[in-house]
Structure 1
Amino acid sequence: MSLTRPKNLAAPSELAPGGLRVVPLGGLGAIGRNMTLFEHEGRLLIVDCGVLFPDVDQPGVDLILPDFSPILDRLDDIEAIVVTHGHEDHIGGIPYLLKHKNDIPLVGSQFSISLVEAKLREHRIKPTTTIVTEDDTLDLGPFGLEFLAVNHSIPDALAVAIRTSAGLALHTGDFKMDQLPLDGRITDLAGFGRLGREGVDLLLSDSTNAETPGFVTSEREIGPVIDDMFDGVQGRIIVASFASHVHRVQQIFDAAHNHGRKVAFVGRSMVRNMGIAQDLGLLRVPEGLLVSMDRAVDLPNDEVVFMSTGSQGEPMSALGRMASGDHRHITIEPDDTIILASSLVPGNETAVYGVINRLAMTGATVIHKGVAKVHVSGHAPAGELLYVLNTVKPSNVIPIHGEARHLQAHARLATQSGVEEDQVIVAENGDVIDLIDGKAELVGHVDNKLVYVDGLSVGDVVEPVLRERRVLGDGGFISATVVIDSENGKVVGGPTISAKGFSNDPRAFDEVLPLINSAMEKAARDDVLDPHRLQQIMRRTVGKWVNDTYRRRPMIVPHVLEV
């Protein structure tokens, strides 16, 4: 079986009349920046627009956006952005797209749209929105939309069926099939089956847990475990979770109430999101349970719970600052109990275990998913993905939302369920898939780069800049300066060397100074007077010496001054 993608795909030709074009602009090959573009009859529909959080090899980067360049000259053709749910990897990029055109309509559930609106207020953008719920239908230009309930680790998640004259596409969003969810809202398998009987021409389905066998554990099994953990604890309890996981926060509230503790939110996104959930009636708060941070820090240790952000090891999150000893209100103490009530997002393992180790070094008790049942995933494992494939019986499948291994695993499930191998497309971001006469085909590729957000800068940081930052972080910085006579090239001043992040020894570079002098004297004898060439000679001389002496590769910046 081969589910490999052709190499060196060219730009696609124009979409054939009546066809449906699908272009994933994010969400493939990594967990994040989910965004899928649909084109039909000259109009565009976007499903989700999220962010990806940077890896350790992307220093200084705050967020990574989808590449909007394929649609920037077609913003007037966009009917709407459909939001499947309110996680950052699905909504975090919306403010950056709306800065190009702020009246692109947003369509989604009440909670999802409320989270987007709160985010847009920070960017001073007032959006045009349409609130939908499961079973709603909506016509947007040539796209007929139908929304279906799906169960996920956030309330109000939706799948969307997209009807066009080219066929019916079903985008599941993120989902699982918890049969006993805390809010009673299950994934609408009956609706999926109805669409299957109608005929789903293209299924785009969540792949995150495609490698995990079996079926998801119910959220209801987590509450009693958390409640037991509260029993007998004399110190403070600090719980870190996703800032949007309303159901997990509800379980913490219930346990705190049962054990006579007050709860304080820690972290701006936690305060904002749970405030929205409470206003919408999605979070039940017992009278007097929730207190301010100022009051919480004055309570006895056995009467308080801190509900915090930072479950993914983010260094600037509330828990990250606690672990490093930099939090303004909370210093970790040996009798504290810290619960990381979340799963590890692929790619965050090193950061999370770094936080766990720093917390453990304080003597505090640290509990995480690896040692106790404090969290279940929000994504369907292989058994549930097969249920969907067998229920929907799609003609064509594009696995989405996952790293390469997840997409490949989902593709294998699709073929095992009976989908023809050549109708399963394992794509990359920027690939162009056309659905014509019931058959999906990979027809080309559009440029798709990572767009970095660094402070207020969007897109200014590019790969060469990141390479320089990695070099600086790994090897430090060396500046070498000489002054030469502009007529004969002889050294009349220096050389001098200064360094950062390399060595504290003031005599560390004494041995290289005569080597630079010798190299410059030879250049003068050879009538090499061009400053740029002299800088290259200096860089090679210093670089070879540093590599031979220290086996390091710092950034070397030579300066040649003429007098």
Structure 2
Amino acid sequence: MYCAENKKLIYVGEKMSDTIKIIPFGGVRENGKNMYAVQIHDDIYILDCGLKYPENELLGIDIVIPDISYLVENKEKIVGVFLTHGHADAIGALPYFLKEINVPVFGSEMTIALAKITVNDDPELKAFDNFHVVDDKKEIDFGDVTVSFFKTTHTIPESLGIVLSCTEGQIVYTGDFKFDQTATDGYQTDFGRLAQIGSKKVIALLSDSANAENPERSSNETDIADVMAETIKYHEGRVIVASVASNILRIQQVIDAAAKSDKKVVLTGHDLEKIVNTAIELNKLNIPDDELIVPLNQLDKLKPEETIILETGKLGEPIKALQKMAARKKGNLKIQPGDLVVIATNPSHAMETTFAKTKDMLYRAGAEVKSISDRANATGHASKDDLQLMLNLIKPEFLIPIQGEYRLLVAHKELAEQVGLNENQIFIASKGDVLEYKDGEMFLGKGITVGNTMIDGIGVGDIGNIVLRDRKILSEDGVFIAVVTIDRKKKIIIKEPKITSRGFVYAKTSVDLIQESSDLVERAVQANLDNKEFDWGHLKQDVRDQLGKFLYDKTKRRPVILPVIMEVNQHHKKSKKSNKSKDDE
């Protein structure tokens, strides 16, 4: 039962046996997909529920979410989901989680508003409304565990860190954070609260590592706002700003820059409009002039010199949207000569090649390209100094670096050692590791199997390694199809094998290779027809094996080989002729 009383939410439950376990389901040795389960006694608390965007080798995959199989098996133990902020890396997997595990969701007002947009967009979850708004003044009492929060600074208002308190001590999760002394209301860190948390026993600190190897201090947002305003003000043509849709702080800076330079802001998509409208309704986004934001259908009525197009792309990922604009494949949103493209998002290391390719495409289309990161260290993540200050404020017994690829976790480990933690106090975890705390010691327990769940269109988890391998081969070496028509009863080939190639060789310039392949297929099929123990599976595999070996010997490439065998039953009367297709897909 949940009830609000004197800013304290109370849950009535039973006290269980003494155990503490911390299990990462994502967010370690990778960028994004933050999700951590903390089991205190016999209850499981879920910290964030995020997604990540696919890397280049995940061909055709839209997003990747944590594998929650273990949590589904133990769903009766799950107390709820506790969110730190409203970016996709913290809330993006919520719809998939809640369809399997119906539990309450907790977060700040802005975070819950964005979580509702994400969840209620799913037709199966339109009725879900088990959301609870919290802030840094509230506590949730679950009997022998109390959950509380502290204000942090990030690129979205009302981001919160999470504290789980029990008789053994506290587990502290920072979420994404940085320290910025110039942060405005709604973005400010509560340093006093951090010191208060650190004055009591902290068992473990789960701390953001995404910027751990950057030697520069993060630029404060006042300086970034000045850079944004200056970049936009003096351009005489259209300005296109690429940003993450839920980066409310960056959107505010674009709006402020537009107001200072007498320009209008055009929002490019329905998802962005919903986020902006939600932020305005909650007074988290200030619009100085009601006419400053212009609908997309009014874009053609604006003069180029007064136009700012805010592009966030599908799922809030703007880089691919810029590529479509450069290739003139995005409706009426096309790059024009004289446009200035301002990239206000920092790509992950996995996206650097795509990022460089995108800039090249934009230049080819006639645009000028500027990146905020060229003039400022624009990031929402803690610098080296910030990470060490967090450690000194919280004073944890053990550190678990999270949110970052392996080298970033190692960099965070080295920073922690510089402020006094020893190697035995720092755990660089993998997905599925179970870190157990008992009698003042933390150790690696028996792990669980945790993989990735890949989302492709409406498919959830039905794309596995075999499908991805085939997609990779198709993208690199193409497909080679051999179609043969046979009469199995007469043991003859009715028609000469027909060979079709896509993405492998150009048929008109490879006549000899095609003919030799056809002859080889004909011999392989005939040999199987002559065999007394004829088997369809053996026939198709034999064609694959022989054709694969032949093509590799000739080209040193391995295309996907698809034998298609058509069976014809021939009778004396042609009118009773029938066909059976033996396709191998």
TM-score under structure 1 normalisation?
Answer: 0.92
Alpha-carbon distance in 2 for matches of 1:30, 1:449: 12
- Verify the 8 A CA contact 2:346 2:373 in the aligned structure 1: no
Structure 2 partner of 1:88 = 88
Structure 1 segments unaligned to the other structure (5+ residues):
1-15
Alpha-carbon distance in 2 for matches of 1:537, 1:407: 49
- Verify the 8 A CA contact 1:214 1:384 in the aligned structure 2: no
Please state how far the C-alpha of 1:319 moved relative to its aligned partner.
Answer: 2.7
| 1:35-114 mapped onto 2 (5 Å cutoff) | 35-102=35-102, 104-114=103-113
Structure 2 partner of 1:542 = 547
| Letter paired with 1:90 | A
Change (3 A) 1:385 1:211: same
Structure 1 partner of 2:21 = 21
Structure 2 partner of 1:254 = 256
- Verify the 8 A CA contact 2:106 2:133 in the aligned structure 1: yes
Please state how far the C-alpha of 1:165 moved relative to its aligned partner.
Answer: 2.5
Structure 2 partner of 1:118 = 117
Alpha-carbon distance in 1 for matches of 2:46, 2:250: 30
Give CA-to-partner distance per residue, 1:72-98, whole Å, 9 cap, x none: 122232211000000101101111111
Q: Secondary structure at the match of 1:220?
A: helix
Alpha-carbon distance in 1 for matches of 2:319, 2:221: 29
Percent identical residues: 33
| Letter paired with 2:359 | I
Please state how far the C-alpha of 1:546 moved relative to its aligned partner.
Answer: 2.1
Root-mean-square deviation (CA, aligned residues, Å) is 2.3
Structure 2 segments unaligned to the other structure (5+ residues):
1-15, 569-585
Give CA-to-partner distance per residue, 1:26-59, whole Å, 9 cap, x none: 1111112111111122211101001111112111
Give CA-to-partner distance per residue, 1:255-279, whole Å, 9 cap, x none: 1111111111113332121111111
Please state how far the C-alpha of 1:158 moved relative to its aligned partner.
Answer: 0.4
Q: Secondary structure at the match of 1:412?
A: helix
- 2:289 is the counterpart of 1:298: no
Alpha-carbon distance in 2 for matches of 1:296, 1:519: 63
Alpha-carbon distance in 1 for matches of 2:526, 2:76: 64
Aligned with residue 320 of structure 1, among 317, 320, 323 = 323
Alpha-carbon distance in 1 for matches of 2:374, 2:187: 29
Please state how far the C-alpha of 1:365 moved relative to its aligned partner.
Answer: 0.7
Change (3 A) 1:314 1:323: farther
Structure 2 partner of 1:449 = 451
- Verify the 8 A CA contact 1:313 1:348 in the aligned structure 2: no
Change (3 A) 1:128 1:524: closer
- Which stretch has the larger CA shift, 57-66 or 498-507? 498-507
- Verify the 8 A CA contact 2:244 2:317 in the aligned structure 1: no
Structure 2 partner of 1:331 = 334
Q: Secondary structure at the match of 2:333?
A: coil
Please state how far the C-alpha of 1:494 moved relative to its aligned partner.
Answer: 2.6
Alpha-carbon distance in 2 for matches of 1:400, 1:488: 67
Change (3 A) 1:388 1:483: same
Please state how far the C-alpha of 1:122 moved relative to its aligned partner.
Answer: 0.8
Please state how far the C-alpha of 1:138 moved relative to its aligned partner.
Answer: 1.5
Alpha-carbon distance in 1 for matches of 2:382, 2:326: 32
Structure 1 partner of 2:474 = 472
Alignment length (residue pairs)? 546
- Which stretch has the larger CA shift, 169-178 or 488-497? 488-497
Give CA-to-partner distance per residue, 1:345-382, whole Å, 9 cap, x none: 23111222222111110121111145433x61100021
Q: Secondary structure at the match of 2:495?
A: strand
Alpha-carbon distance in 1 for matches of 2:461, 2:114: 25
Give CA-to-partner distance per residue, 1:210-237, whole Å, 9 cap, x none: 1112421101111222222223322111
Change (3 A) 1:78 1:372: same
Please state how far the C-alpha of 1:541 moved relative to its aligned partner.
Answer: 2.2
Q: Secondary structure at the match of 2:498?
A: strand
- Which stretch has the larger CA shift, 331-340 or 225-234? 225-234
Please state how far the C-alpha of 1:322 moved relative to its aligned partner.
Answer: 1.0
TM-score under structure 2 normalisation?
Answer: 0.88
Change (3 A) 1:464 1:443: same
- Verify the 8 A CA contact 2:212 2:383 in the aligned structure 1: yes
Structure 2 partner of 1:462 = 464
Structure 1 partner of 2:229 = 227
| Letter paired with 1:468 | D
| Letter paired with 2:347 | L
- Verify the 8 A CA contact 1:547 1:553 in the aligned structure 2: yes
- Verify the 8 A CA contact 2:245 2:316 in the aligned structure 1: no
| Letter paired with 1:27 | G
| Letter paired with 1:108 | G
Alpha-carbon distance in 1 for matches of 2:178, 2:487: 73
Structure 2 partner of 1:553 = 558
